[in-house]
Amino acid sequence: MVSPSESIIISDFKKVFNAFSGKSKLRAYGYNYDILLQFQDEIIYEKLLSSSLLSMIDSGDLLEAGARVVYSKKGRKFDIQIAPGGQKNQLEIHANTHYEVENIDFSILSKQLSSDFKEVQEAIKKFTQT
């Protein structure tokens, strides 16, 4: 795995930013993470639903469900969505971190990317613990 400081994503991001600089005004930026987790142990998908939502199924079979949490922390907005994957005992996670700013400090982007990913990892870990 490549660390954020070694990744080309920051330089690519800067190229895109510079291409639009002067042509538009920055309102926000962020990072998207798409993660696919395959578990050896069985996943209890009902964990994705509250008891009141489970009651709607009324002895039917749960075909699909998901969980989404959006929260802010230290000037960042996190949006984490967790849903069953395409295979048994698999979860798909889509996460987004969002900064509402009008300027980008490129000297701290790799630090932000790393810090945000750690936050997403911790959230997933907390969710998947039984």
pLDDT at 72: 94
Distance (Å, whole) CA 16 – CA 46: 42
Sites in the chain below the pLDDT cut of 50: none
Residue 91, number of CB atoms within 10 A of its CB: 21
Residues 6+ apart with CB under 8 A from 38: 85, 87, 89, 90
pLDDT at 5: 66
- Side-by-side strand order, sheet with 67-73: 29-38, 90-99, 76-84, 67-73
Full-model pTM: 0.78
From residue 24, give the alpha-carbon distance in Å to each of 16, 31, 104: 12, 20, 14
pLDDT at 4: 65
